[in-house]
Amino acid sequence: MDTWLITHATGVRLGVFCGVFALMAAWEVVAPRRTLRESKPLRWTSNLAITVLNSALLRILFPAAAVGAAAFVAERGAGLFNIFAVPYPLALVLSLLALDLAVYLQHLMFHAVPILWRVHRMHHADLDFDVTTGSRFHPIEMILSMLIKFAAIVLLGPPLLAVLVFEVALNATAMFNHSNIRIPQPWDRALRWLVVTPDMHRVHHSIDAPECNSNFGFNLPWWDWLFGTYRSQPAAGHGVCTEAAGRPLGGSGPRGCRPGSARAT
């Protein structure tokens, strides 16, 4: 099974990415949450070009990717779940939770540390917020993210399946929770028990600093609840919370969102 995962990991990730992207793009047309202001062809061309560039860069620098790193660690018996006799199902679940926590903490760090915020703000500079925003990241952030992921894999020694499932879920939920899609409020409230919804994550893209420094989760909402960084709704409403009058696309980021306290209410 591990050999199959190593061989087909890239194909699985690409297939899920294309499928979820197509679904979210169609949903945005059928039931949009907000009226977007910028030219869609211009934004999509820019954001998708960045996505292709980052994918190629990571493929060149880290050809084995995260699943390959997990296989390398497993072969050497390193990591907590290889050192200690943990049942496979438990190791699988704990690995998924730990990797998601690592992404949450990484995201918080990219807001709290000024030099990292200078890189991460490229993601927040897209004020229209739709499915393509979910893959709009600075190449330096993508490289640092991969290195942090490698460090977590070395520490944990997770099953290869856990790493692949996490990678696929992270890509899928990033597109889902950045999408400009309308979800009925009762459904949104129910979904927030299990996954970060677009309305929940849109608060994080607010131009208001306290709101921008909240809701750091990508997959699971639980870390924001646990660490006090959860905020349910933007004060100005979802229609305008990410807008800045006269702000050109591709600028330095939301005017109010700066490194600082990540404590929310």
Q: Can you give the pTM of this predicted structure?
A: 0.87
| Beta carbons of 214 and 229 less than 8 angstroms apart | yes
pLDDT at 38: 84
Can you tell me the distance from the alpha carbon of 19 to that of 3, in angstroms, rounded to the nearest whole number?
A: 24
The string of pLDDT tens digits covering residues 175-234 is 999 999 999 999 999 999 999 999 999 999 988 888 899 999 989 999 999 999 999 988
- More confidently predicted of 243 and 30: 30
Band of the pLDDT at 109, cuts 50, 70, 90?
A: very high
User: What are the φ and ψ backbone dihedral angles of 198, each rounded to 5 degrees?
Assistant: -60, -40
The pLDDT value given to residue 80: 94
Each residue of 89-98: pLDDT tens digit?
999 999 999 9
pLDDT higher than threshold 60 for residue 250? no
How confident is the model at residue 254, as a pLDDT?
45
| Mean pLDDT computed over every residue of the chain | 87
Is residue 74 within 8 Å of 82, Cβ to Cβ?
yes
Query: Does residue 127 have a pLDDT over 60?
Result: yes
Give CA separation, 102 vs 98, 234, 239, in Å.
Answer: 6, 26, 31
In the chain, where the domains are located: 2-226
